[in-house]
């Protein structure tokens, strides 16, 4: 098994050599020490979640409802002084069941035992060793990732993590370059750090044991940024990603933001998931006027298989929302969204949004008959989703930064798309504390 594809190896080597040759940069030179630059934070998260599957078969579970509390501690050390700095990042997660029951479990907040009951508690402890030369950091261990081709998710009670190696460099002015190789996953309701890599959609008898990627972001100007990434999911697929984001100031309290995202995925190696040739992109325009923002987004998936990804949040597309990602085979989708910041009306910390997405033209009947997507979608799939989001963050006082968030989403579709008729409600309370 190759540890990294040739492209990732080459970039990682280049970054390391470039950093080694940089004269004792400001970043590492200004290190105060392992303990002196340490940070310790605590996040309490209280999460209520229900999902109502309106079109479930009589023998299937049609309703899921759970309430849980999560406690997350994050420790980030400084770096030792010297040309090469050493450090440690560590975390400890604990999830506690507040309400669940047989027949209501399965929201993803809590792990499930053999008798379909949610466990009373669960947890996970992990961390990563790190070293820094100039402005380049190498990490090895368990960590959260945020690359558009491999991003762990934080959409339930406890965050997901992955095990591997990550190199991040800021030595080139205006750019951030990163390369990674990961071999294991910790799912959102799991206590195991050695789970298989999480694949969002496809199901096959075998999948890749590792994913490698390389890429980065460059700020062309204060208004224009771009990103470019490549990844290899072992013996499954190769995936490429590109982004351009531009903000145009139109006047006082007015601006237009344009965002374009593009993914290209093709099967590779032994092609465990079958034949794949998918191009998926989204274009979004957001016009902001004072406290108001109006967004229109267009998204297109071209190919006989859905767009798929490794890692719970590895999808940087405009129409990837609460229930559906709108990335079915050959799917076209449109979104309208409205946001308002009530600070302009005397309620600082209160924000609301509403969105509506419609997708159609799904045709999955030409997927590889022996692949991971055969039979997943029909010939004329169509669906829609609407969502509402209200969030309030306390601005001052003893409860400063305490946030309350209410999210509601409704999804409806025909039999030729894969997600069905679902209603969901999430209520999330978070209270972060910086201890050191």
Kindly report the CATH number assigned to the domain that includes residue 256: 2.40.160.10
366 counts as catalytic: no
* 396 within some domain: yes
235 counts as catalytic: yes
Contact 126, 112 (CB under 8 A): no
Contact 190, 121 (CB under 8 A): no
Q: What is the pLDDT of residue 16?
A: 42
Options 124, 181, 383, 411, the catalytic residue: 181
* 1 within some domain: no
Distance from C-alpha of 142 to C-alpha of 89, rounded to nearest angstrom:
9
Q: What is the pLDDT of residue 57?
A: 85
**For the whole model, what pTM was predicted?**
0.92
Q: What is the pLDDT of residue 289?
A: 97
Contact 356, 386 (CB under 8 A): yes
Q: Would you write out the chain's pLDDT as a tens digit for each of its 436 residues? A: 343 444 444 444 434 433 333 333 458 778 899 999 999 999 999 999 999 999 888 888 899 999 999 999 999 999 999 999 999 999 999 999 999 998 899 999 999 988 889 999 999 999 999 999 999 999 999 999 999 999 999 999 999 999 999 999 999 999 999 999 999 999 999 988 889 999 999 999 999 999 999 999 999 999 999 999 999 999 999 999 999 999 999 988 999 999 999 999 999 999 999 999 999 999 999 999 999 999 999 999 999 999 999 999 999 999 999 999 999 999 999 999 999 999 999 999 999 999 999 999 999 999 999 999 999 999 999 999 999 999 999 999 999 999 999 999 999 999 999 898 999 999 999 999 999 8
Maximum CA extent, the chain: 68
Report how many domains make up the chain.
1
Q: Which residues contact 309 (CB under 8 A, 6 or more apart)?
A: 149, 199, 200, 239, 315
Options 105, 212, 314, 324, the catalytic residue: 314
* 198 within some domain: yes
Distance from C-alpha of 96 to C-alpha of 414, rounded to nearest angstrom:
37
* 231 within some domain: yes
Contact 276, 233 (CB under 8 A): no
Q: Tell how far CA 276 is from the center of its chain.
A: 22
Q: What is the pLDDT of residue 8?
A: 43
Options 235, 259, 267, 304, the catalytic residue: 235
Domain holding 324, by residue range, is 6-434
Distance from C-alpha of 358 to C-alpha of 364, rounded to nearest angstrom:
18
Distance from C-alpha of 72 to C-alpha of 435, rounded to nearest angstrom:
12
* 350 within some domain: yes
Contact 414, 380 (CB under 8 A): yes
383 counts as catalytic: no
């Amino acid at each position: 098994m190759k540890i990294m594809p040739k492209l990732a190896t080459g970039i990682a080597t280049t970054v390391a050599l470039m950093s080694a040759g940089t004269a004792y940069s400001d970043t590492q030179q200004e290190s105060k020490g392992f303990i002196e630059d340490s940070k310790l934070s605590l996040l309490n998260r209280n999460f209520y979640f229900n999902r109502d599957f309106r079109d479930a078969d009589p023998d299937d579970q049609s309703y899921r409802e759970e309430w849980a509390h999560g406690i997350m501690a994050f420790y980030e050390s400084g770096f030792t002084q010297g040309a090469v700095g050493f450090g440690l990042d560590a975390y400890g997660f604990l999830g506690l069941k507040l309400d669940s029951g047989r027949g209501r479990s399965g929201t993803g907040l809590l792990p499930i035992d053999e008798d379909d009951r949610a466990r009373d508690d669960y947890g996970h402890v992990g961390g990563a060793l790190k070293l820094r030369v100039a402005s380049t950091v190498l990490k090895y261990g368990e960590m959260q990732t945020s690359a558009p081709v491999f991003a762990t998710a934080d959409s339930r009670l406890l965050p997901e993590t992955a095990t591997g190696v990550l190199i991040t460099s800021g030595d080139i002015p205006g750019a951030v370059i990163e390369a990674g190789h990961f071999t294991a996953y910790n799912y959102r309701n799991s206590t195991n750090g050695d789970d298989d890599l999480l694949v969002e959609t496809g199901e096959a008898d075998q999948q890749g044991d590792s994913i490698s990627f390389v890429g980065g972001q460059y700020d062309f100007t204060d208004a224009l940024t771009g990103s470019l990434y490549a990844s290899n999911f072992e013996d499954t697929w190769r995936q490429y990603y590109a982004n351009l984001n531009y903000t145009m100031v139109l006047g006082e309290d007015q601006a237009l933001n344009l965002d374009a995202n593009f993914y290209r995925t093709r099967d590779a190696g032994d092609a465990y998931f079958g034949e794949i040739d998918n191009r998926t992109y989204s274009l979004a325009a957001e016009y902001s006027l004072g406290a108001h923002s109006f967004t229109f987004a267009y998204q297109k998936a071209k190919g006989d298989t859905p767009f798929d990804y490794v890692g719970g949040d590895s999808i940087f597309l405009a129409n990837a929302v609460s229930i559906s990602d709108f990335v079915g085979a050959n799917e076209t989708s449109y979104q309208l969204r409205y946001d308002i910041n009530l600070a302009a009306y005397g309620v600082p910390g209160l924000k609301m949004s509403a969105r509506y997405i419609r997708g159609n033209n799904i045709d999955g009947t030409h997927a590889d008959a022996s692949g991971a997507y055969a039979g997943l979608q029909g010939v004329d799939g169509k669906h829609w989703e609407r969502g509402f989001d209200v969030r309030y963050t306390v601005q001052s006082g003893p409860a400063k930064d305490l946030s309350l968030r209410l999210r509601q989403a409704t999804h409806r579709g025909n039999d030729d798309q894969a997600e069905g008729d679902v209603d969901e409600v999430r209520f999330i309370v978070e209270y972060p504390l910086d201890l050191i």
